Chain A
Amino acid sequence: MIISLNWIKEFVNLDGITVNELVKRFGLSTAEVEGVEYVGNDIDKVVVAEILSVENHPNSDHLHILKVNDGTGAPVQVVCGAPNVRVGLKTYFAQLGGNVKGLKIKPAKLAGVESFGMCCGGNELGIEADTSGIVELPNDAPIGKNIKEMLPIEDVLIEIDNKSLTNRPDLWGHYGIAREFAAIFKRDLKPLPKEDLAHYSNLKPLSIKNETKNCFRYTGISVENIKAKVASPIIKLRLNYCGMRDINLLADLTNYLMLEVGQPMHAFDNAIVKGITVIETNKNLNMETLEHETHTIEPGAIVICDDKKEPVAIAGIKGGLKSGITEQTNSLLIESACFDSATIRKTSRKIGLITDASLRYEKSLDPELCPIATARMLYLLKQIDNGVKVTSSFTDVYNYKYPTHKIEITADFISRRGGVKLSDAEICDILTRLGFEVKVNNEKITVIVPSFRGTKDVSIKEDLVEEIFRMYGYDNIKSSSMNMPLQPVDQIPIHTLEHQIKYTLASMFNLNEVHSYVWNYTDFNNQVGIKQESVVHLLDSSKSGQSGLRTALAPTLLKTVFENKNKFSDVNIFEIGRTFNELNKDNLVNEKRKLAVVLASDTKTDKELYFNLKQMVEYISNILVRTTVYFDKANDNKMYHPVNSCTIYNGENLVGEMGILHPTIAKNIDKRKHFAVLEIDLEKLLACEKSTFKITQTSKYQSVSIDYNFLADKSMPYAVIEKTLTDFKAGYILEHSLKDIYINDEILNGKISYTINFVVTPKNKTLETSDIEKFSKRLIDHMANIGLSLRA
């Protein structure tokens, strides 16, 4: 919203305060200022001049050669292209050496004829919207007078961020902003000059019926005999400065009122609309607006109808074409009304029509503004056209009145919340300046909230804390530490684990962390052959492009590989994120915290990648979680290689799956790369039973190291051998390790040879040869239990 400082100064004296100070204090106390623009100072040497003669230009069919009297003596010759030039017309004339918004006025030749100045259009000067010709000034405009003495064109425009006014319906007009400035700088707010509506209470009321609870207040008054057609130059100037356009007297006045008081108004042609019925429509309605656009209004919207129940306006948003003001209009029915904010917002969004009026109604306007706006409107209308006659009483249908909020506070409460000691007097002073009524009674301060703050913004004690301290100045509050007891803090283990895993994977395993979106990429999945069904979906996927939420992380990572495949020979990435796999009995999503890793390489083999993954899983489980997992037979997830993939278990609990990517999918993503994929459920992993640890006492006796070559069937997983080795007990301290694997089908008859090294340490005596022989025999017998024999 753009605020004209000149307009503000009509209501509050801000002498002695710099614009910087105004803007800074307003920003710190009230709302965000987005920009400050100084206007009008780029207009110079523009004066009132009269056209003395008009001649056709010899070389042009639209240019004319004028002689003008600019009050400097001799007539000045000027070439002008405006169609409305005529002898006797007074207009704004930019003299040589002058400036019109950056255009420097110099002697020039136009189509061969010399020109010593410029006649100005209202649009060129920024004072009117009109672009059709040069400004037409009244006949009594004094020749030679500078435009700056005619019109306050030098102004400061302050742009306020609309968003930061969301909760301040009272600040959507200049008068409200002026009230805020008055409070901030402890100046007086001048009353708004207006008509006394009580003068007309003896006139016949209008027929106004309100049939919906969502119209809180509807007021109307009718006037006739309007002769004037255009608003005053200053009204036009202010409308243009504040980002609107001047149109005609009545439209300009309603807009001016809206910018000044913050109350949207509407003027119906009283010849067409004789009475009002406000309804909530229960069927679709079509309405052509003033802009010649037809909108379909859905049930639930508030519609203004005339006394014949013909719709004439979309309440709070836009007037209809049929009842609108025309050149012929000379009698009006002036609406000043208040509607339910949510209803206006919903209708406005549904029909896609956001107007200056609807923006204001959305903020919960104060219904008490209705008569104020009407009274001000009549005042301004009569100033412009004193022949205007009011033909009805001010007719007021007041359906819903907001409750008056009465709040009790104490200086102690305010001081404790702010952390600054304030006295009753200081508190009362601030609240009074803001328009609150206060009564102090025995340490209790009773505060009555003014109606313009009471529609939604201020209703509880804490709201007053804000009012008081934003005026006191947040920058005047001293920072102070808290007094909290010292106590140990238990961090959340899963959160800690997530960070540990991320750091480990990045620093030790050279993985790159990525973040992706939580939805399924169905196009990508279909393209490469991944099946992923979603359990929950977005209701509106128009902006996200996808609707199903992911049930696995790995497919999004594969998409990332796909997007990076031509940039890198190796892509090793991971993500820790959520998947959405099931609904519980209350129909709520059970989220899973997952870790997914994808390794993709041009150079490494499937086997290398697969073992890389295993190493990561073991590091995470053994070192970070302190548990043990084992790798079971192929998982049935079709995304994986049917032979070379596995499930990851701890005890009976499935904690994850990993493997080589299914070759079909792999080829679809990148023909050159090998892929391995891992996905673990972190909460399940963390829930695993922790490994217990007891130290082994060391021995002072000499150890013996012995290698055994065992032959095993190729089909036997090494894990079975490992478990059998671990289970072997012989009364010694034993350590074993796999030293070598030897495969040679000819020599070994299709079997596989494992070289197992044992380090045998006696606990309490020196090992004799006979002891070792005995040990070896027992070990070989033990291994024979699972079909292993010693290689000859």
Chain B
Amino acid sequence: MKEKIKEIMELVKQKLNSIKKSAEGQALRVEFLGKSGKITELFRLMKEVPADKKQEVGQILNNAKQDIEELISNKEKTLQEEELNAELNSAEKIDITLPTPNCTGSLHPRTIVQKRIEDVFMSMGFVVEDGNEVETEYNNFTAVNVPENHPARDMQDTFWLDNGQVLKTHTSAAQNRILKKHTLPIRAIFPGRCFRNEDLDAGHENTFFQLEGVIVDKDVSVGNLIYFMKEMLSKIFKKEVEVRLRPGFFPFTEPSFEMDVRCPFCDGKGCPTCKQGGWIELCPCGMIHPQVLRNGGIDPEKYSGCAFGLGLDRMAMLTFGINDIRELNSGNLKLLKQFKPEE
């Protein structure tokens, strides 16, 4: 029996020496340790072994079985390591610096600026509305207190349509509808496309975007308006800004203001953007005229409100350094493609 075991062990070693792949180890395992393997065969012969020798022979067989398993496993491990090394050594080096297909899509600069501003307002509890582009004379002028004889109503300034309506000249045209639609207190902004019958030049467009906002509640004050505009503009320009009010005149607000912001591009030191003045005129605003509130079904004795407008074209031009307003409607893809989409 011992002799046989010795023979088998020699055979195992011989065979192990000749295998080249780790996967071949399993075949050896079957040959020697499997159901009809050479060692397994020897176990079958155990019944012929005299009782007093059984323990000794059994031990020898078991040892042999363990030794063979160990030999095969070790060989397998060695081969696996070699195989892994060979695989790694022969791996193709992937040049990850090669380009991936780029996102070549773009959003219009107005859209980008509009969304940024809308997000600020939404975070402050505003609803984002938007109005029509074609409006009635009532909504565009009368409801927001533009007098019957006001020059803005002239054909020279406003695009009148052959059905008696107008292309809205300002986002304020949506005010009446919004004041009527919402319950008090109201916090709403309404961006939209506006139109003026104008000749085009680098600073003038007949088709442009504004964004307007209204806040109506009990005792809304000039102090509230200043607070609100300062917070909002600080968010938009991503830095604490300083604002100032100057007198302005608009039919739909009383008092009316022009709001200047301390130039966020040079911190007021003077730069081409603020024309060295240190301030940028940014935002016409004011306390909503009592007649406008009344027209919207709100009692101006009980409630007051403020309204403000931002030129989205101007904001886009300031933000991205676009010098000619006509670029915005031009469809010039060389320019427009530069504005990567942002959510």
Question: Which residues does A use to contact B, with CB under 8 Å?
Answer: 27-32, 164, 166-167, 341-342, 345, 349, 416-420, 460-463, 465-466, 469-470, 474-475, 477-482, 484-487, 489-492, 495, 499, 502-503, 505-518, 536-540, 543-544, 549, 559-560, 563-564, 567-568, 571-573, 577-578, 580, 583, 587-589, 591
Quick check: B197 and A419 within 8 Å, CB to CB?
Answer: no
| A417-B304, A514-B331, A571-B333 known; A466-B162 Cβ under 8 A | no
Smallest Cβ distance from B283 to chain A, in angstroms?
A: 14
Quick check: A495 and B134 within 8 Å, CB to CB?
Answer: no
Residue of B nearest to A345 (CB): B151
Q: Which listed residue (B106, B165, B217) contacts A484, Cβ 8 A?
A: B217
Residues of chain A within 8 A of B304, CB atoms compared: 416-417
Report 10 cross-chain contacts, Cβ distance below 8 Å, ordered by A residue. Answer: A29-B247, A419-B223, A466-B255, A479-B226, A482-B228, A489-B127, A518-B195, A536-B161, A539-B155, A539-B160
Q: Which listed residue (B132, B290, B337, B342) contacts A512, Cβ 8 A?
A: B337
Q: Which of A484, A572, A578 has the most CB of B within 10 A?
A: A484
| A341-B149, A517-B207, A573-B333 known; A482-B159 Cβ under 8 A | no
Quick check: A164 and B254 within 8 Å, CB to CB?
Answer: no
Q: Counting CB contacts under 8 A, is B220 at the interface?
A: yes
Residues of chain A within 8 A of B105, CB atoms compared: 505-512, 572
Q: How many A-B contacts are there with CB distance less than 8 Å?
A: 237
Residues of chain A within 8 A of B136, CB atoms compared: 588
- Interface of chain B residues 125 through 167 with chain A (CB within 8 A): 125-130, 132-134, 136, 149, 151, 154-156, 159-165, 167
Q: Counting CB contacts under 8 A, is B318 at the interface?
A: no
Quick check: B219 and A420 within 8 Å, CB to CB?
Answer: no
A-B pairs, 4 with minimum CB distance? A419-B223, A419-B221, A466-B255, A342-B149
Residues of chain B within 8 A of A577, CB atoms compared: 193
For the complex, what is the distance from the CA of A573 to the CA of B106, rounded to whole Å?
Answer: 9
Q: Counting CB contacts under 8 A, is B43 at the interface?
A: no
Residues of chain B within 8 A of A166, CB atoms compared: 249
Residues of chain B within 8 A of A549, CB atoms compared: 134, 161
**Chain B interface residue number, banded:** 35 or more
Smallest Cβ distance from B116 to chain A, in angstroms?
A: 11
Residue of A nearest to B228 (CB): A482
Q: Counting CB contacts under 8 A, is B276 at the interface?
A: no
For the complex, what is the distance from the CA of A166 to the CA of B146, rounded to whole Å?
Answer: 14
Q: Which listed residue (B167, B247, B255, B343) contacts A462, Cβ 8 A?
A: B255
- A-B contacts besides A466-B256, A489-B122, A543-B206, 4 pairs, CB < 8 Å: A417-B287, A484-B125, A502-B341, A518-B193
The 8 A CB mask of B159-181 against A (1 = contact, 0 = none) is: 11111110100000000000000
For the complex, what is the distance from the CA of A549 to the CA of B195, rounded to whole Å?
Answer: 13
Residues of chain B within 8 A of A477, CB atoms compared: 222-223, 226, 245
For the complex, what is the distance from the CA of A511 to the CA of B339, rounded to whole Å?
Answer: 11
Residue of B nearest to A461 (CB): B290
Residues of chain A within 8 A of B199, CB atoms compared: 543
Quick check: B221 and A418 within 8 Å, CB to CB?
Answer: yes
Residues of chain A within 8 A of B155, CB atoms compared: 539-540
Quick check: B106 and A513 within 8 Å, CB to CB?
Answer: yes
Quick check: B333 and A482 within 8 Å, CB to CB?
Answer: no
Quick check: A492 and B128 within 8 Å, CB to CB?
Answer: yes
Residue of B nearest to A465 (CB): B255
Quick check: A484 and B255 within 8 Å, CB to CB?
Answer: no
Quick check: A479 and B122 within 8 Å, CB to CB?
Answer: no
Residues of chain A within 8 A of B54, CB atoms compared: none
Quick check: B108 and A513 within 8 Å, CB to CB?
Answer: yes
Quick check: A474 and B289 within 8 Å, CB to CB?
Answer: no
Q: Counting CB contacts under 8 A, is B49 at the interface?
A: no
Residue of B nearest to A416 (CB): B219
Residues of chain B within 8 A of A505, CB atoms compared: 105
Residues of chain A within 8 A of B287, CB atoms compared: 417, 462, 465
Quick check: A507 and B223 within 8 Å, CB to CB?
Answer: no
Quick check: B115 and A564 within 8 Å, CB to CB?
Answer: no
Q: Counting CB contacts under 8 A, is B104 at the interface?
A: yes
Q: Counting CB contacts under 8 A, is B240 at the interface?
A: no
Quick check: B222 and A474 within 8 Å, CB to CB?
Answer: yes
Q: Which of A460, A490, A516, A544 has the most CB of B within 10 A?
A: A544
Q: Which listed residue (B151, B162, B245, B254) contacts A537, Cβ 8 A?
A: B162
Residues of chain A within 8 A of B115, CB atoms compared: 499
Q: Which of A29, A490, A587, A588 has the most CB of B within 10 A?
A: A588
Q: Counting CB contacts under 8 A, is B329 at the interface?
A: yes
For the complex, what is the distance from the CA of A144 to the CA of B185, rounded to whole Å?
Answer: 75
The 8 A CB mask of B106-130 against A (1 = contact, 0 = none) is: 1110110001001000100111111
For the complex, what is the distance from the CA of A587 to the CA of B137, rounded to whole Å?
Answer: 13
Smallest Cβ distance from A548 to chain B, in angstroms?
A: 10
For the complex, what is the distance from the CA of A474 to the CA of B103, rounded to whole Å?
Answer: 48
For the complex, what is the distance from the CA of A480 to the CA of B221, rounded to whole Å?
Answer: 9
Q: Which listed residue (B151, B185, B224) contacts A485, Cβ 8 A?
A: B185
Quick check: A512 and B163 within 8 Å, CB to CB?
Answer: no
Quick check: B161 and A517 within 8 Å, CB to CB?
Answer: no
Residues of chain A within 8 A of B197, CB atoms compared: 540, 543-544
For the complex, what is the distance from the CA of A479 to the CA of B247, rounded to whole Å?
Answer: 17
Quick check: A349 and B154 within 8 Å, CB to CB?
Answer: yes
| A419-B224, A420-B223 known; A514-B336 Cβ under 8 A | yes
For the complex, what is the distance from the CA of A508 to the CA of B167, rounded to whole Å?
Answer: 34
For the complex, what is the distance from the CA of A539 to the CA of B230, rounded to whole Å?
Answer: 41
Q: Counting CB contacts under 8 A, is B212 at the interface?
A: no
Residues of chain A within 8 A of B127, CB atoms compared: 489-492
Smallest Cβ distance from B210 to chain A, in angstroms?
A: 14
Q: Which listed residue (B128, B230, B333) contacts A564, Cβ 8 A?
A: B333
Quick check: B255 and A538 within 8 Å, CB to CB?
Answer: no
Residues of chain B within 8 A of A583, CB atoms compared: 163
Quick check: B341 and A478 within 8 Å, CB to CB?
Answer: no
Smallest Cβ distance from A371 to chain B, in angstroms?
A: 27
Residue of B nearest to A574 (CB): B105
Residue of B nearest to A483 (CB): B217
For the complex, what is the distance from the CA of A282 to the CA of B263, rounded to whole Å?
Answer: 55
Quick check: B163 and A567 within 8 Å, CB to CB?
Answer: no
Q: Counting CB contacts under 8 A, is B297 at the interface?
A: no
Quick check: A515 and B328 within 8 Å, CB to CB?
Answer: yes
Residues of chain B within 8 A of A502, CB atoms compared: 107, 111, 341
Residues of chain B within 8 A of A568, CB atoms compared: 333
Residues of chain A within 8 A of B258, CB atoms compared: 32
Quick check: B107 and A513 within 8 Å, CB to CB?
Answer: yes
Residues of chain A within 8 A of B128, CB atoms compared: 491-492, 495
